[in-house]
């Protein structure tokens, strides 16, 4: 019963989006927007084609590398800045400032520094994702309840026990929220990077399709990426909620 209730909202939303899509198709015509069903069929045939797979792999690899850098480096830097109060205070406004810059304007600079191809995409994706991870981790580490640390010290925990029993459980929920936001932004950055000056990957296919006005392919790729984004996000959000509930109890 609860499954039905939690699923009802998203299902209704999906259904209304599909109806809106179909209506928009009726109104705008085939040259602007293919109908939902033919688009999905087109996506299916595209996935079956051999030349499609390398593009997906390219984008996937770029995204995974960018994500790994953003997550690992982000948590590392965040822990350091959170642990050392003065450096945290120095760095925080700079990071917030960087976070609110339109980073897309910096993409040509990244291209000049890293050259065309994979490294530039990875760098641009990581650049988008890393700052929220650092900010969230920093605030999580800074806000660890001092009483926990004192309790740990009075029980003479070893540094390993301290990290495993106290620090990680206390900071994980907030850090995970940062990782979740970092995930979305890394995907955005990687995709933006592929749209501009790229020779492979889903973004490149998308740009080629836009140049050729191949509406079915444009929409098929958009649907594919959106599906991935929504599914991944839903999973991360569910984990996030569970962690938060666990920490509150």
Partner 1 sequence: MSKAGWIRLVVLVAFFGAVEALCRTGAISPKLIIAPSAMLGAMVKLLASGEMGDDIRQTLLSVAIAMGLSIVGGFGLGCVLYWLPPLRRAVDPFLAAYYSLPHFAFYPLLIVIFGLGALPLIVLATLFAMVAMTMATLTGLDRIPRVLIKTARMQRLSLPAEIWHIRLPAAAPHLFSGLKLAVTYSFIGVIAGEFILSTSGLGHQIAFAYDNFDNPTMYGLILFVLCIAIVFNLLVFAYERRLARQRGL
Pick the closer one to partner 1 by CB: 111 or 175: 111
Binding site for partner 1 (CB under 8 A): 8-10, 12-13, 28, 31-33, 86, 89-91, 93-94, 97, 100-109, 111-113, 183-185, 187-188, 191-192, 195-197, 206-207, 210, 213, 215, 218-219, 221-222, 225-226, 229-230, 232-234, 237
Distance, in Å, from the CA atom of 154 to the CA atom of 171, rounded to the nearest integer, reads: 20
Q: How far is the CB of 78 from partner 1 (least distance, A)?
A: 17
Pick the closer one to partner 1 by CB: 10 or 54: 10
Taking residue 117's Cβ as centre, other Cβ atoms within 10 Å add up to: 16
Q: How far is the CB of 188 from partner 1 (least distance, A)?
A: 6
- Token pair of 199, please? 């020779």
Q: How far is the CB of 235 from partner 1 (least distance, A)?
A: 11
Contacts 24+ apart (CB under 8 A), 117-121: 117/198, 117/199, 118/58, 118/61, 118/62, 118/65, 120/193, 121/62, 121/66, 121/190, 121/193, 121/194, 121/198, 121/201
Distance, in Å, from the CA atom of 61 to the CA atom of 90, rounded to the nearest integer, reads: 34
Q: How far is the CB of 161 from partner 1 (least distance, A)?
A: 33
160 neighbors 103 (Cβ within 8 angstroms): no
Q: How far is the CB of 106 from partner 1 (least distance, A)?
A: 7
126 neighbors 120 (Cβ within 8 angstroms): no
- Token pair of 65, please? 């590398």
1 SS3 class: coil
Q: How far is the CB of 33 from partner 1 (least distance, A)?
A: 6
226 neighbors 83 (Cβ within 8 angstroms): no
Question: What is the full DSSP assignment across 193-221?
Answer: HHHSS-SSSHHHHHHHHHHHT-HHHHHHH
Q: How far is the CB of 192 from partner 1 (least distance, A)?
A: 6
Residue 140 burial by CB count (10 A; 0-12/13-18/19+): exposed, middle or buried? buried
């Amino acid at each position: 019963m609860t499954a039905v209730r939690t699923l009802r909202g998203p299902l209704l939303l999906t259904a209304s989006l599909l109806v809106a899509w179909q209506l928009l198709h009726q109104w705008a015509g085939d040259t602007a927007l293919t109908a939902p069903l033919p688009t999905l069929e087109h996506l299916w045939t595209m996935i079956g084609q051999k030349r499609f797979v390398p593009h997906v792999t390219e984008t996937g690899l770029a995204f995974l590398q960018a994500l790994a850098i953003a997550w690992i480096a982000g948590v590392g830097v965040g822990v350091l800045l959170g642990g050392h109060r003065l450096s945290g205070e120095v760095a925080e406004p700079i990071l917030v400032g960087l976070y609110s810059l339109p980073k897309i304007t910096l993409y040509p600079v990244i291209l000049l520094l890293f050259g065309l191809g994979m490294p530039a995409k990875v760098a641009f994706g990581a650049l988008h994702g890393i700052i929220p991870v650092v900010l969230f981790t920093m605030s999580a580490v800074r806000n660890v309840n001092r009483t926990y640390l004192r309790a740990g010290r009075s029980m003479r925990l070893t540094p390993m026990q301290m990290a495993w029993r106290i620090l990680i459980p206390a900071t994980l929920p907030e850090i995970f929220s940062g990782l979740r936001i970092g995930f979305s932004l890394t995907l955005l950055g990687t995709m933006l990077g592929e749209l501009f000056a790229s020779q492979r990957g889903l973004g490149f296919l998308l740009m080629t399709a836009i140049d050729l006005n191949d509406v079915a392919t444009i929409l098929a790729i958009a649907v594919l990426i959106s599906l991935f984004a929504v599914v991944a996000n839903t999973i991360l959000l569910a984990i996030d909620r569970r962690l938060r509930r666990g920490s509150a109890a």
